[in-house]
Amino acid sequence: MLKTLALAGAVALTGTAASAACAYDNKTQISLLAAAFEAWKAVADAMAECGNFKAELDQEFRTKQPAAFAAKPPLYQLGGVSNGTITPLINDATIRPLDDLVAKYGQDLSPNQLIRIDGKIMAIAMMVNTQHLQYRGDVLTDLDIAVPGTWDEVLAAADAIKQAGAVDYPLGATMKSGWDQGLDFINLFYGHGGEIVDEANQPTINNEAGVKALETMKAITAYLDPEYTVSDSTYVQQQFQQGKIAMANFWASRAGASGAEGESQVVGLVETAAAPRAVPDGPPATTIWWDGLVIAKNISDEEAEAAFQLIVEGLDTDMVQANNDAAIWLVPGYEPTRLAKGAIETLNAQPPARAYPSTVAMGLMHTALGNGTSDYLTGAKDAETTLADIEDAYVTSAREAGLIQ
Q: Where are the alpha helices (DSSP H) in 223-339?
A: 233-241, 255-258, 301-314, 317-322
The neighbour count for residue 193, using CB atoms within 10 Å, is 14
Q: What residues does 57 pair with on adjacent strands?
A: 11, 34
Q: Are strands 287-295 and 78-82 parallel, antiparallel or unpaired?
A: antiparallel
CA–CA dist 130, 190 (Å, integer): 14
The neighbour count for residue 313, using CB atoms within 10 Å, is 24
Q: 6-20, 109-123, 361-375: lowest mean pLDDT where?
A: 6-20
Q: Give this prediction's pTM.
A: 0.84
pLDDT above 70: percentage of residues in the chain? 95
Band (pLDDT 50/70/90 cuts) for residue 358 is confident
Q: Residue 66, preceding bond cis, omega within 30 degrees?
A: no
Band (pLDDT 50/70/90 cuts) for residue 334 is very high
The separation between the first and the last C-alpha atoms of the chain, rounded to the nearest angstrom, is 55
Band (pLDDT 50/70/90 cuts) for residue 318 is very high
Helix (H, G, I), strand (E, B) or coil at 317: helix
Q: What is the pLDDT of residue 260?
A: 79
Q: Which helix (H) or strand (E) holds 33?
A: strand 30-34
- Indicate the average pLDDT of the chain: 93
pLDDT exceeds cutoff 60 at 274: yes
Q: Which helix (H) or strand (E) holds 134?
A: strand 120-136
Q: What is the pLDDT of residue 84?
A: 85
Question: How many residues make up the chain in this entry?
Answer: 405
181 contacts: CB under 8 Å, gap ≥ 6: 175, 217, 369, 370, 373, 374, 377
pLDDT exceeds cutoff 70 at 171: yes
Q: What is the pLDDT of residue 382?
A: 98
Q: What is the pLDDT of residue 14?
A: 53
Going by the DSSP 8-state scheme, the letter that residue 52 receives in this structure is S
How far is the CA of 186 from the CAs of 75, 116, 195, 323, in angstroms?
32, 24, 9, 31
Q: What is the pLDDT of residue 11?
A: 46
Contact between 331 and 320 under an 8 Å Cβ cutoff? The reply is yes
Band (pLDDT 50/70/90 cuts) for residue 91 is confident
CA–CA dist 221, 118 (Å, integer): 41
pLDDT exceeds cutoff 60 at 387: yes
pLDDT exceeds cutoff 70 at 218: yes
pLDDT exceeds cutoff 80 at 156: yes
Q: What is the pLDDT of residue 405?
A: 85
More confident residue, 5 or 237: 237
Band (pLDDT 50/70/90 cuts) for residue 5 is very low
pLDDT exceeds cutoff 60 at 370: yes
Band (pLDDT 50/70/90 cuts) for residue 59 is confident
CA–CA dist 356, 149 (Å, integer): 21
pLDDT exceeds cutoff 60 at 230: yes
